[in-house]
Amino acid sequence: MTHSTSSAQAWQDEYSTRIMKSAALPLAELVRGEGCYVWDSEGTKYLDFLAGIAVNALGHAHPVLVDAVSRQIATLAHVSNYFATPPQLELAERLLRLSGGDRVFFGNSGAEAIEAAIKLARRTGRPRILALQDSFHGRTMGSLSLTGKPALREPFEPLLPNVEHIDSTVEALEAALGSDVAALVVEPIKGEAGVVDLPAGYLAAARELTSRHGTLLIIDEIQTGAGRTGSWFAFQQHGIVPDAIALAKGIGGGVPIGALIAYGAAADLLTAGQHGSTFGGNPLATAAANAVLGEIERAGLVENARRRGDELRRILAGLPLVEEVRGAGLLIGVGLSGALAPAVTSAAMAAGLIVNAPNDTSIRIAPPLIIGDTEIAEFTEKFTTALEAVAAKGPE
Ligand SMILES: *Cc1c(COP(=O)(O)O)cnc(C)c1O
């Protein structure tokens, strides 16, 4: 059986009989990518403005990443945590320099970065952890315990005890904090909720309040990190220093890697033997992250994310069905004037554009950080076509 030239019917049949039913049927079978484009198994080309959910920071098959990974896998791919490697130490130096943090733990995914954060919080000796309603922190049992979406949580309860999901208001935080709260875990922008901003001043107030109570402020930068929001990390736009940040998605540019960076006293909470991961920080993944972050720096892609994000925001605000434009840099949420998001993503696919609907009323736009004038013009044309097609059909 060939897997290279399957018809839609063939891959769909294979997928639905062989892959665990935990996810909905995929939108297409993709076979190749280059820059900001991907191709499916029927030869259709798409402009990719989702980038594997804010992962492919350099787009697809970027020569710098391909080269770094190829060279590293031909040199030393994996050694276990009984050994140090140059790419691992280089990435630690780079991440601490960019984030201002003091120590880093390497894992393989966002959920694992959050698991490390939960273990860090446990080491304070305090039982309670606060997270926000409608937040997303991952799907493992620990990270799911923090995720503030009842529909995702309920099938797997009981989860971790002593986790409370509070409103995203300073008042709710003030009411929930106390000397028994180990940590507050927050996304600076709620990606899976539809790219929803925190209320203005929330993070600064949260820093104030958590410091006063000796509670760790842990920021989930898994979706917002690696330059996407127009600064290396989103928290840096709020004039605060957190106790820890969780990273994954964009830092590896498509190679799985996660990290927890801790600041100050929090950096010394985990002691020898208390946490680990076989693959965590292996030379292959850390070489990939060095290449991605190095290229973001070299090519000025943080600045590009800010500038292109502003451009896209201006364009989006003038398009049909668009009620609200949220987010920062190249993590953009488009609030639609009704439950039209699934129809818009389908119409966009039909027009050769990949965007995503994290919920019925929101479109998420998270293109590679390398986009320029050409991609913006093409996006505008295709997205307008999609919105007009849905608008023409009228309300569902
Ligand atoms: C994607 C995501 C996670 C989970 O990351 P995985 O790599 O899928 O485990 C956690 N938090 C946020 C904010 C995310 O966007």
For residue range 357-379, what is the model confidence (pLDDT) as tens digits?
999 999 999 999 999 999 999 99
Q: Is 187 in the pocket of ligand 1 (CB under 6 A)?
A: yes
Q: Is the pLDDT of residue 2 over 90?
A: no
* For ligand 1, mutation pick of 222, 260, 356 (most atoms within 8 Å of CB): 222
Is 249 catalytic? The answer is yes
Query: What does the alpha-carbon distance between residue 262 and residue 242 come to, in Å, rounded to a whole number?
Result: 8
Q: Quick one: fold of 8-62+300-393?
A: Aspartate Aminotransferase, domain 1 (3.90.1150)
Pairing of strands 331-336, 244-247: unpaired
pLDDT digits (tens, 9 = 90+) for 242-301: 999 999 999 999 999 999 999 999 999 999 999 999 999 999 999 999 999 999 999 999
To the nearest whole number, what is the mean pLDDT of the chain? Answer: 97
Per the CB < 8 A criterion, the answer to whether 108 and 254 are in contact is no
Give residue 394's pLDDT: 72
What CATH number is given for 76-298 in this structure? 3.40.640.10
Domain ranges of the chain: 8-62+300-393, 76-298
Pocket test for ligand 1, best of 56, 135, 137 (most atoms within 8 A of CB): 137
Which of 249, 379, 382, 383 does the annotation list as catalytic?
Answer: 249
pLDDT tens-digit map of 171-182: 999 999 999 999
At 1 the pLDDT is 47
Give the rounded percent of residues in the chain with a pLDDT score beyond 90. Answer: 97
Residue-wise pLDDT tens digits, 191-218: 999 999 999 999 999 999 999 999 999 9
Residue 226 has pLDDT above 70, yes or no: yes
CA distances for 329 relative to 35, 219, 295, 300, 307, angstroms: 19, 18, 18, 13, 7
Q: Whose CA is nearest to atom 5 of ligand 1?
A: 110
Q: How far apart are CA 71 and CA 284, in angstroms?
A: 9
Ligand 1 centroid, distance to 346 Cα (angstroms): 24
Residue 220 annotated as catalytic: yes
Q: Identity (one letter) of the amino acid at 156?
A: F
Q: Is the pLDDT of residue 130 over 80?
A: yes
Task: Give distance in angstroms: CA of 16 to centre of ligand 1.
Answer: 25
Q: How far is the CA of 52 from the centre of ligand 1 (A)?
A: 12
